Amino acid sequence: MQRRTFVQTVGAGLAGALAAPERLLAASRLGRVGLELYAVRDAMKADPNKTLAAIRAIGYTDVELLWSFNNFGQSTEQVKAALAREGLHAPSAHIAPELLLDANQWKRDVETAKSIGHQYLIVPSLPAETNTSLDAWKRWADHFNKAGRAARAGGIWLGFHNEPDHMKPISGEVPYDVFVKRLDPAAVRLQLDVGNMLVGGGDPMKYLAKYRDRYWSFHLKDVTADHSKDTELGAGVFDFSKFLASVPDLSKKPCYVEQENPKDELASARSNFSFLHALTF
C-alpha cells in the first residue's frame, strides 16, 4: 500500500494568499538494501567470492557478515578486499556472545570491526543458560553494558538481535523485555528481526513503538500465515510498508533480508531484493 502526502488548499475563502499550492510528494523507498549472509550460507561456504559477486549483481548494496561463522574461512584482509572489489558495504556483523567476556580481545575485535567498516557488532543469541533463567539474562545485560561502553570508546556500537525464543516467558516475564530494560541505551543498540518476533509470538509494530529509539537495524523477514516459519518477502502476512513507514530516521538504519531456509538461496535472495526494491511506503 502506498502512502501519499498531499498539501491542499485550505478552502475557497482562503484560496488566495493563504493557500499553499497542492502537490504530491514521492513515496519513500529503501535507499539501501542489505543481505544477511546467513541467508546464503551454503553458497558462501562453497565459494565466498563468487557469492558476493552474485549478491552485488542482484542489486544489494550491503551485507551483514558472520564472524560467528569465521566469515566462511576468509581472513580480515580477504574480506576487506572482496567487499572493495564488489563495491559492497558491511555495516555490521553477527558475533558470538563469548567475544564480549575477554576485555583485551574485545578491544582488538572492535579495532578489527572498524577497519572493515562496520558500525555495529551484533550478538544474535545468548547461551543456553538464558533458556530458563532471568538472572542469566540480567548477567548478560551487564556484560553487554560493559562491552558496549568499550565498543563506543573504539567507535563501534554493540547490538543485540532477537530470536523467537526470546519472547517465551520465564517466571511470568518476557526475557527479552527484562534484558532490554537492563541495557544502557547509550552503550547498546537493538536490531529488530521482524520475522523472529512474529514466530516468537510478538508484534513487531508494538515493539517498534515500545522501544522506538533503540532499534537501529532491522532484519526484514516475512512469515507464513500460521507464523510458524519464514517465507519469501511478499508471500507472507507482514505489512512491510506500514512497518517501514513507522521507523524514524530509516535512512540511517541498516536493513537486511534474511530468509533462513530457502529452497534456492540465491533465487530467494533475488526475489526478496526485487520485492524491497519496488516497495513504497
pLDDT at 26: 57
CATH architecture label of 28-278:
Alpha-Beta Barrel (3.20)
Q: Hey, what long-range contacts does 24-29 have (CB within 8 A, 24 or more apart)? A: 27/2, 27/3, 27/280, 27/281, 28/3, 28/244, 28/245, 28/250, 28/280, 28/281, 29/277, 29/279, 29/280, 29/281
pTM: 0.90
Q: What is the pLDDT of residue 268?
A: 98
What pLDDT digit, counting tens, does each position of 142-176 carry? 999 999 999 999 999 999 999 999 999 999 999 99
pLDDT for 2 equals 37
CA–CA separation, 137 and 216 (whole Å): 21
**Residues with pLDDT less than 70, the chain:** 1-26
| pLDDT reported for residue 27 | 80
Q: Please state the domain extents for the chain.
A: 28-278
Q: Are the beta carbons of 219 and 239 closer than 8 angstroms?
A: no
The pLDDT assigned to 214 comes to 98
